[in-house]
């Protein structure tokens, strides 16, 4: 029996560009939290509160995990309402390094236009 290497197993598995960024709509109550207000001093109270993240899963699977308490962000588990694909769909998929940078860039871009943003590490 021939031994399978990690590289051969990976070729048959997920594609290399399978990471995604995603944006979750949060309950407006998040905007009243002291820590969130401090992170978003120029927020527009008329724009929604959002969480920006990145994942190797599909955004739908990752959101379901947040809500189920699996590797969750506490704000998403408690206040997450739904995904906002119109803010991220055009960016996906991408390699891990690009997704890690895009998560930061997307969070900063949304914050710059007035969204109240959490996540985006």
Give the mean pLDDT of the chain: 90
pLDDT tens digit sequence for 52-111: 999 999 999 999 999 999 999 999 999 999 999 999 999 999 999 999 999 999 999 999
Q: Which uninterrupted H or E stretch holds 57?
A: none
Residue whose entry in the numeric block shows the structure tokens 């290399």? 16
Q: How far is residue 70's CA from residue 51's CA, in Å, rounded to a whole number? A: 16
Tell me the C-alpha distance between 87 and 15, whole Å. Answer: 23
Q: Look at residue 121 in the predicted model and tell me its pLDDT.
A: 85
Say what the pLDDT of residue 113 is: 96
Rounded mean pLDDT, 38-44: 94
> Using the 8-state DSSP alphabet, how is residue 39 labeled?
H
Domain ranges in the chain? 15-119
pLDDT of 15 strictly over 80: no
Distances (CA, A) of 105 to 17, 69, 111: 18, 26, 10
Q: What is the pTM for the complete model shown?
A: 0.86
């Amino acid at each position: 029996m021939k031994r399978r290497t990690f590289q051969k197993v990976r070729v048959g598995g997920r594609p290399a560009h399978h990471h995604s960024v995603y944006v979750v709509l949060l309950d407006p109550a998040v905007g009243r939290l002291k820590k969130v207000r401090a992170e978003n001093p120029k927020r527009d109270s008329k724009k929604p509160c959002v969480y920006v993240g990145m994942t190797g899963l599909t955004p739908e699977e990752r959101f379901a995990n947040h809500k189920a308490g699996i590797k969750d962000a506490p704000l998403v588990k408690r206040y997450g309402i739904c995904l906002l694909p119109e803010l991220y769909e055009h960016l996906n998929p991408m390699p891990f390094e690009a997704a890690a940078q895009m998560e930061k860039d997307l969070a900063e871009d949304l914050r710059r236009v007035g969204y109240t943003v959490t996540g985006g590490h």
